[in-house]
Amino acid sequence: MGSGPLNGIKVVEFAGIGPGPFCAMLLSDMGADIVRIDRKGGRGGSKFDIGSRGRKSVALDLKKPESVEACLKLIESADILQEGFRPGVMERLGLGPDVCLKRNPKLVYGRMTGWGQTGPLANAAGHDINYISLTGALHAIGRPGEKPVPPLNLVGDFGGGALYLAMGMLAALVEAQRSGKGQVVDAAMTDGASSLMAMFYGFTASGMWQEPHGTNMLDGGAHFYDTYETKDGKWISIGSIEPQFYAILREKAGLTDSLWDAQMDRTQWPAMKKKIEDVFKTKTRDEWCAIMEGTDICFAPVLSIKEAIDHPHNKARQTIVEIDGVAQPNVAPRFSRTESKIQGPAPQVGEHTESALKDWGFSAADVEALKKAEAI
């Protein structure tokens, strides 16, 4: 049984990729009991698949009516269902919202897609890079005169996708507990990524945000908000926006010339960036850390994943933990009373088929019938 604020919440997850598994990982980390429906005969279960940690795997052949009925029986006792197929797939399987909500009127039915359940692109293939392209987010990231730079798949899949799906499903769950009625949560990465851009839409409307990218305060255009190479070829980050923090930057970096007085003069930023680049190349990253880390400059070394594991702050908070020999992020956020814990590594496909079905109310005879039908 899980530990955390979602202890006792039951989730049926239909196996997918990207934002779906990550969303379910978050729910599991917070204590939810998650059964993932995998394809019978499928592969998976690597300990390196961190996003799939902490749930039970039930392998079913969804082409068989017995398997579909088994899903519906699981759904009858579930609080949440989450799926990430293209629109219409679950309906064709006989597991669409109408069918499932008829069996469980309080069910929260979460749907994760790139383009959403409706719209002219709803049935088109795509990935994170395409979804954030449509929102203005990708266009806003890059250096002047250079092409847009994909921010990994953090903005679409995980930020605009998984987190909005999790928030939406949990909000719908709270409402269902009041009303006794479930509903569908249509989480589209285009919607979520657009929502993440709210502040920048405001900046654009007010004239504060200008094109091309890489010329604004928060996209690397300002000398006081950027990354800089150090003497040893490593990198540091500076975010000294507020005047009091900028003053400390000037003090610690020796920026005494009157040029630095005009912090917010955009016309001076290119010249100031060139000068500060030269300043930061005079010392190694560790030397700058000794001078600036822990001050109100708003400073941090730019660490690789391997370096992040051993940083003293991360170690003190146990931000990174090791499970089965694999270093990985710990649970987040943290709760003062209902402590969250990782429930275990990623399961092998079908690892818990029989045990999970029995835990969720299937009798031994039910399981044997599914075996006989070759549904499991």
Catalytic positions: 127, 157
Q: Are 244 and 267 in contact (CB under 8 A)?
A: no
Distance between CA atoms of 289 and 217, rounded to whole angstroms? 23
Chain CA centroid to CA 328, Å: 14
Distance between CA atoms of 14 and 3, rounded to whole angstroms? 22
Helix, strand, coil share (%) of the chain residues, nearest 5: 40, 15, 45
Residue 181 Cα distances to 90, 101, 167, 177, 372, angstroms: 21, 9, 18, 8, 36
- DSSP structure class, residue 87: T
Could you list the beta-strand ranges (E) of 175-296.
183-188, 225-229, 235-239
Q: Are 324 and 47 in contact (CB under 8 A)?
A: yes
